Chains A and B, each alone.
Chain A
Amino acid sequence: MLGVDETIVQQFEEKWQSNAGKLLHINHREELEDLILDLSAADAFKEKPIVVGGSLGQWEWIRTWNPEKVSIWSPGDDPEVFRHQCANASLGITGCAWAAADAGSVCLYSQKDSSLLPSLLPPIHVVLIAKDQIVLSFHEGMGKLYQDAHDQGLWPSLVKIVAGPSMTADIEGQLILGVHGPRDIYAVIIDDSIGIQPN
Chain B
Amino acid sequence: MAGQLPFDERPWPERRDAALQNQTMRHTIGFVTRRFTLVKQEVYRANPDIEASRTVAVGQKRKAIHDLPELLERFRTQVEEHGGHTYLAARAEDAVDIALNIARTNQVKSVIKSKSMVTEEIELNQAFGKEGIAVRETDLGEYIIQLAHEKPSHILAPAVHRNRHQVADLFQEDAAQKKIAPPHSDDIEDLTRYARERLRQEFLQADMGVTGGNFLVAETGTLVLITNEGNADMVTSLPPVLVSIVGVEKMVENWTSLQEIIQQPAMSGIGRHLSSYTTMIHAPKSSGSAEGPEQWHVILVDNGRMALRGTKFEDVLSCIRCGACLNVCPVFREVGGHAYGSVYPGPIGIVETPLLTDFQILPELPSKLCTLCHACQEACPMDISLPQHIVSLRHIVIKRHLNSGMVGWTLKTWARFWGTASGYRRSISLARVMQRFYGKRRNASGLIPGMFAGWGQTREIPQVAPQTFHEWWQDRNQKGE
Interface residues of A (CB under 8 A from B): 15, 19, 54, 73, 75-77, 79, 82-83, 87, 102-105, 110-112, 115-117, 120, 138-139, 142-143, 146, 149, 155-174, 176, 178-182
The contact of B276 among A77, A79, A163, by CB within 8 Å, is A163
For B162, the chain A residues whose CB sits under 8 A away are: 171
Task: Encode B215-259 as 1/0 by CB contact (under 8 A) with A.
Answer: 000001010000011110110111000000000000000010011
A112 to B160, CA, bound (A): 41
- How far apart are B411's CB and chain A's nearest CB, in angstroms? 40
Q: Does B299 contact A (CB under 8 A)?
A: no
Which residues of the partner chain B approach A138 to less than 8 Å between Cβ atoms? 263, 273-274
- Closest A residue to B195 by beta carbon equals A179
Instruction: Evaluate contact between B233 and A120: CB separation under 8 angstroms.
Output: yes
Shortest distance from the beta carbon of B115 to any chain A beta carbon, whole Å: 10
Which A residues lie within 8 Å of B237 (CB)? Answer: 110, 116-117, 120, 158
Q: Which listed residue, B160, B255, B277, B290, touches A83 by the CB 8 Å rule?
A: B290
> CA–CA, A37 to B32, complex, Å?
40
The reply to whether A158 and B282 contact each other, CB–CB distance below 8 Å, is: yes
A159–B290 CA distance with the chains assembled, in angstroms: 13
With A75-B288, A164-B276, A181-B230 known to touch, is A146 a contact of B282 (CB < 8 Å)?
no
Total contacts A to B, CB within 8 angstroms? 184
Using known A-B contacts A142-B255, A180-B196, determine if residue A172 contacts B289 with beta carbons closer than 8 Å.
no
Evaluate contact between B276 and A146: CB separation under 8 angstroms.
no
Contact A176 B188 (CB under 8 A): yes
Q: For the complex, give the distance between the alpha carbons of A103 and B160 in Å.
A: 27
Please pick, from A76, A143, A163, A174, the residue contacting B259 in the complex, using a CB distance under 8 A. Answer: A143
Q: Which residues of A contact B284 (CB under 8 A)?
A: 157
* Contact (Cβ within 8 A) A171 B159: yes
* Pairwise interchain contact B288-A176, C-beta atoms closer than 8 A: no
Question: In the complex, are the beta carbons of B291 and A161 less than 8 A apart?
Answer: no
Residues on the A chain within 8 Å of B200, using CB: 87, 180
Residues from chain A with Cβ under 8 Å of B278 in the complex: 160-161, 163
Interface residues on B, range: 35 or more
* Contact, CB under 8 Å: B191 / A171: yes
The interface bits of chain B over 319-351 (1 if a CB of A lies within 8 angstroms of the residue's CB, else 0) are: 000000000000000000000000000000000
1/0 per residue B14-57: CB within 8 Å of A? 00000000000000100110010000000000010000010000
Q: How far is the CB of A80 from chain B (nearest CB, A)?
A: 10
Query: A123's closest neighbor in chain B, by CB?
Result: B196
Asked if A104 contacts B273 (CB within 8 A), the reply is yes
CB distance from A100 to the nearest CB of B (A): 9
Please name all residues of chain A whose beta carbon is closer than 8 Å to the beta carbon of B238 when the two chains form the complex.
83
Contacting residues, chain A, for B292 (C-beta < 8 A): 110, 157-158
In the A-B complex, the 9 residue pairs with the closest CB atoms: A181-B230, A115-B290, A170-B141, A103-B273, A163-B274, A161-B278, A166-B230, A179-B229, A159-B280
User: B192: which of A103, A156, A173, A176 is its contact (CB, 8 Å)?
Assistant: A176
**Interface hits, B34-91 → A, CB 8 Å:** 35, 47, 53, 82
Instruction: List 18 contacting pairs A-B, 8 Å CB cutoff, sorted by A.
Output: A110-B237, A110-B290, A117-B290, A120-B233, A120-B237, A143-B259, A155-B220, A158-B236, A158-B282, A160-B279, A161-B278, A168-B141, A170-B158, A170-B160, A171-B163, A171-B164, A172-B163, A173-B160
Cβ A157 vs Cβ B276 within 8 A: no
Q: Which of B157, B191, B288 contacts A76 (CB 8 A)?
A: B288
* From A105, A159, A179, A182, contact of B274 by CB (8 A): A105
Q: How far is the CA of A185 from the CA of B282 in the complex (A)?
A: 26
Q: Chain B 432-456 against A: per-residue CB contact (8 Å), 1 yes, 0 no?
A: 0000000000000000000000000
- Contact A163:B199 (CB < 8 A) given known A168-B192, A173-B160: no
Bound CA–CA A162/B274 (angstroms):
9
**Which residues from A are CB-within-8-Å of B230?**
120, 166, 179-182
* CB–CB A155/B195 < 8 A: no
- Interface flag for B275 (CB, 8 Å): yes
Query: Given that A163-B274, A166-B229 are known contacts, is A157 also in contact with B263, CB under 8 Å in the complex?
Result: no
**Bound Cα distance A57, B283 (Å):** 25
Nearest CB on A from B229, distance (A):
4
Please provide the chain B residues from 353 to 388 with a CB less than 8 Å away from any CB of chain A in the complex. Answer: none
Which chain A residues lie closer than 8 Å to B282 at the CB level? 155-159
Compute how far the CA of A181 lies from the CA of B200 in the bound complex, rounded to whole angstroms. 10
Contact present for A166 and B289 (CB under 8 Å): no
Task: Produce 1/0 per residue, B157-187, CB < 8 A to A.
Answer: 1111011100100000000000000000000
Query: B475 contacts the other chain (Cβ, under 8 Å)?
Result: no
User: In the complex the two chains form, is B289's CB within 8 Å of A180's CB?
Assistant: no
